[in-house]
Amino acid sequence: MFRTLLIANRGEIAVRVIRACRALGIRSVAVYSEVDRTSPHVALADVAVPIGPAAPLESYLNVARILEAARATGAEAIHPGYGFLAENASFARAVAAAGITFVGPSPDSMEAMGDKLGARRTMAKLGIPIVPGSDPDADPRSLPEVGARIGFPLLVKAAGGGGGRGMRRVDEAAQLSDALAAASREAQAAFGDARVYLERVVERARHVEVQVLGDRHGNVVHVFERECSLQRRFQKVIEEAPAPNLPSAVRRGLLESAVRAAQSVKYEGAGSVEFLVEADRFYFLEMNTRLQVEHPVTELVCGVDLVQQQIRIAAGEPLSFRQDDLHVRGHAVEARICAEDPARGFAPSPGRIVQFVEPGGAGVRCDAGVAAGGVVPAEYDAMIAKVIGYAADRAAALDVLDGALRELVVLGVTTNAEFLLTLLQDPDVLDGRLDTQLVTRRHSDWLPAPVSTSADSPALIAAALALHFRAPLRTAAAAPSDSPSAHVSSWEHLAGWRAGRGET
């Protein structure tokens, strides 16, 4: 087992990996940008190393600085988390060239599945259904003609990445040329790969993914499936395990196909194979060659610590269980808490967090990457925490999550928590009648409840007092006492306080 491991990431996933290291007796190393110097992951790690300014290209995407931090701290392994460099094969090769172990799949496996066109080609050869679309080897100049043959609506998708970037929905032929150009530009900026392809839109489809684990000894298992249909702009907002109302034959086909897909590229580590489900049919979408944001729901229902498994696999250990050892017990539902304003089209809401109170109680898990007094930077993803409810059945798990979201307190930035609570009360959500467009339909006429934001608001006063009397966060990365940022009035911290749509 490794003695020292560096986490090349930030926020809640960095905290999650640090805790896994602690359980395994591994010394953890955090890296942080200037804006993250007082973040929880910096305080929790055994060692914290600054790697540059807030801009990702100068810090969390700066391979040279990350490797320098690893060498300086004696790190024997690097865990990439998700996002940033997690699916970057060049980074994985640079880590290996530096004599350090990359906690994840081999660069070859990453490239085989990271290239969406190549992955579609591989799945077709395996006999796994793929969404009808353009041929992987099609000339980009022919895509307008191909689109007309496929029919509308269709999606323009980036070949070199995912997460909703480089993706455009096209409802009629007149929109296609502009969509191809815009998606290609966005794909180039996000992934350094301008290639795009076309897929038919599967209306009212479900998005279901299968968690897989593979080791270097040739063992591959699935850890069952997750429902990820509740999403907006191709970004998931609520996920659950197992998937509700899934026909047994479809579930069996998904699980078997995911294992075959992982075996085809000799996959090592944790990964997820994503599918669209249409009634009793399913189609391969893509494989994410990393840990997923929604991994906690699988951990809760299967009793497997996926992060510890990643680290053990990277250290060369074989899987300690077989497929027959894995079972689903109970139900788990996760809500992503983001600093964004649903009433303004989910616009990001960066700023200082005045008060943050995690929910608790039986069946509640909260994976957070922020704390009171900290800052939600504009430079990074808006997700600040994940709240998960677990219980013996789905109805009870939804109730646990509903109660947890009502107990959650975030002051200083607007969050999507109120909108998520509305979703949890939706009849279709309660009955498990889910599809990828449900959130869009519900958001179209959603309005937040009116909230008072007067200067004498009890919540505002309580938050100001809580911040004023809070003990300073002491970390090796904290600003020096003579730093201007170390002497800011509590009332100045409240300048960005919001509740609902109002501001003070």
- Concatenating the DSSP letter of every residue in 297-346 gives HHHHHH---HHHHHHHHHTTPPPSS-GGG----SEEEEEEEESEEGGGTT
As given in the structure block, the two tokens for residue 361 are: 């109680």
- Strand, coil or helix: 392: coil
- Separation CA 230–CA 430 (nearest Å): 12
Mean of pLDDT values over 47-56 = 97
pLDDT surpassing 60 at residue 463: no
Instruction: Output phi, psi for 236, to 5 deg.
Output: -70, 145
The predicted-structure confidence for 182-212, as pLDDT tens digits, reads as follows 999 998 887 778 889 998 888 889 999 999 9
**Does 500 or 309 have the greater pLDDT score?**
309
pLDDT surpassing 50 at residue 241: yes
Helix (H) or strand (E) holding 200: strand 196-200
358 alpha carbon, distance to own chain's centre: 19
The predicted-structure confidence for 469-483, as pLDDT tens digits, reads as follows 444 333 333 333 333
Spatial CA neighbour of 238 closest among 411, 421, 83? 421
* Predicted model pTM: 0.86
Ramachandran quadrant class, 127 (left: phi over 0; alpha: psi -120 to 50; beta: rest): left
**Does 376 or 490 have the greater pLDDT score?**
376
The predicted-structure confidence for 383-442, as pLDDT tens digits, reads as follows 999 999 999 999 999 999 999 999 999 999 999 999 999 999 999 999 999 999 999 999
Pairing type for strands 347-348 and 498-499 reads unpaired
The DSSP string of 128-141 is: --B-SB--TT--GG
- Separation CA 411–CA 470 (nearest Å): 15
- pLDDT band at residue 445 using 50, 70 and 90 as cut-offs: confident
Spatial CA neighbour of 272 closest among 248, 251, 293? 293
Largest CA distance in the chain: 66
The pLDDT of residue 453 is 52
The pLDDT of residue 94 is 98
The DSSP string of 91-159 is: HHHHHHHTT-EESS--HHHHHHHHSHHHHHHHHHHHT--B-SB--TT--GGGHHHHHHHH-SSEEEEES
The pLDDT of residue 499 is 35
Please name each of the domains of the chain with its CATH number: 4-103 (3.40.50.20), 105-131+204-329 (3.30.470.20), 134-200 (3.30.1490.20), 458-503 (no CATH)
- pLDDT band at residue 464 using 50, 70 and 90 as cut-offs: low
pLDDT surpassing 90 at residue 109: yes
